[in-house]
Amino acid sequence: MSYLEIKNLRKKYSKDGPLIIDNLNLSVEKGEFIVFLGPSGCGKTTTIRMIAGLEDVNDGEILIEGVNIIDKKPKDRGVSMIFQSYAIWPHMTVFENIAYPLKLQKVSKAEINKRVKAVAEATDISNLLKKYPAQMSGGQRQRVAVSRAIVVEPKIFLMDEPLSNLDAKLRVSMRTELKNIHNKQNSTSIFVTHDQSEAMSMADRIVVMYKGKIEQIGSPMEVYEDSATKFVAEFIGTPPTNFFKTRIEKIDGVLMAVNSSFKYKIPNSLVKALEKYVGKEVDMGVRPEFIDISPEMEKTEGYICDTNISFVEPQGSHSILITRIGEVEIKIHTVKYMYMKPNTNVALNVKSEKVMFFDCDSTKRIKADNL
């Protein structure tokens, strides 16, 4: 049995309103760092608020260590939550803020003193215990919120976009700090974000959500390299995946993905899976780093077409080249041709083993093992 189990969870805000959470199922193991990732309005925050007991559940179960907590009050669920705004008391010192939930639990003064000092040391704010929130930076206030959440030794540690109010540099450093705290405390954590770089850098597993449903669950590299749906392929990755509307056709016995601007030979590994789509449209996706260019106009097995580089966006460690194939703007990630000049003619070749195809109706990935 998993440490946390969510079974057939459903949520709507009115009887005749739309489903905000639609039959969500998830199992989390003890000690995992799970990240809920998706655009605004996809149901991420609503889900963790239901775990915390801050939102009612219309249907389904939430079990921690096999016990259904749906009917328990928030304080009796064994969970702690950090909010986007931190929600620390401005009139209390850091010590008093961290100690507050322990006082509500009627923990002894000696135990409070011991536990507050221990978590303050873990979060590196021991020197701030006598200060007030107004005397601290955003990053320090966030550490106070983390300390207050973990001092009660929760079974589940919930975080609702806790880094969104920090500047870009501090956000990056605090990712590492939060993961370090998670590891030190051996806690089970669920972190909500719409920032894919946060998700990729912190998660043991990412739960990609869209319109109240889970699109895919997997390790950061699984959801990146083996995207289960078109949405996941679009949402994960910067720049995002390049997509083309294509029609699968057999030309002279060879299976091709045909677009108004190119004819691409289907890789051997995908021929069987795509044969059933002959005469039908599919979405073809290629990530920017899997497109090779040749100023010498060399055409490889993965040749798409010739084109002209319109713009170059230097990124320091690499450059993003921008061109068009028909009406579609294409972005190419390159290290080899970082200093290419705009208006250069090139041949576009893709790494055939990295090309993705998606069913236009279901949006699901068409894979070689889907026979």
Q: What percent of the chain has pLDDT over 70?
A: 99
| One domain, residues 230 and 246 | no
C-alpha to C-alpha distance for 359 and 71, rounded to whole angstroms: 41
CATH of the domain at 128: 3.40.50.300
For residue 289, what is the domain's CATH number? 2.40.50.140
Mean pLDDT within 43-71: 95
pLDDT at site 16: 85
List, for residues 296-337, the tens digit of each pLDDT value.
999 998 999 999 999 999 999 999 999 999 889 999 999 999
Q: Say whether both 278 and 339 belong to one domain.
A: yes
Residues 194 and 40 sit within 8 Å (Cβ to Cβ): yes
239 preceded by cis ω (within 30°)? yes
Same domain, 212 and 114: yes
- Which DSSP state fits 364? B
* Residue 208 is assigned to a structural domain of this protein: yes
Residue 370 lies in a domain: no
Q: Are residues 140 and 252 in the same domain?
A: no
Same domain, 207 and 117: yes
Domain end position, chosen among 188, 215, 235: 235
Among 206, 235, 264, the domain-final residue is 235
Give, in order, the Cα–Cα distances in Å from 197 to each of 81, 162, 204, 237. Answer: 22, 14, 13, 8
Structure confidence at residue 252 (pLDDT): 93
Q: Where does the pLDDT of residue 369 fall: very low under 50, low under 70, confident under 90, or very high at 90 and above? A: low
The predicted structure's pLDDT at residue 254: 94
The whole model's pTM is what?
0.88
Which of 235, 258, 285 delimits the end of a domain?
235
8 assigned to some structural domain? yes
Residue 233: other Cβ atoms inside 10 A: 26
Which structural domain, as residue segments, surrounds residue 19? 4-235
Domain identity same for 185 and 74:
yes
- Judge whether 217 and 35 are in contact, CB under 8 Å: no
Which pLDDT score is estimated for 75?
86
- Residue 255 resides in a domain: yes
Is residue 42, in this structure, part of any structural domain at all? yes
Instruction: Give the model confidence (pLDDT) of 83-125 as tens digits.
Output: 877 678 899 999 999 999 898 888 899 999 999 998 888 888 8
Of the candidates 311, 291, 287, the residue with the CA atom closest to the CA atom of residue 302:
291
Q: What is the pLDDT of residue 371?
A: 40
229 and 262 share one domain: no
Taken in order 340, 342, 345, 349, the sign of the CA dihedral is positive
CB contact set of 283 (below 8 Å; sequence gap of 6+): 230, 243, 244, 245, 246, 357, 358, 360, 363
Share of the chain above pLDDT 90, in %: 73
Distances (CA, A) of 185 to 82, 85, 118, 214: 16, 23, 11, 28
Mean pLDDT of the chain: 92
Asked if residue 30 has pLDDT above 80, the reply is: yes
**Given pLDDT bands bounded at 50, 70 and 90, which one contains residue 170?**
confident
Q: What is the pLDDT of residues 259-281, one digit of tens each?
A: 999 999 999 999 999 999 999 99
Residues 160 and 282 in one domain: no
Structural domain count of the chain: 2
Same domain for 32 and 178, yes or no, is yes
On the question of pLDDT at 370 being above 60, the answer is no
Q: In the predicted model, is pLDDT for residue 136 greater than 80?
A: yes
CA distance 140 to 151: 16
Residues 195 and 295 in one domain: no
Same domain, 21 and 116: yes
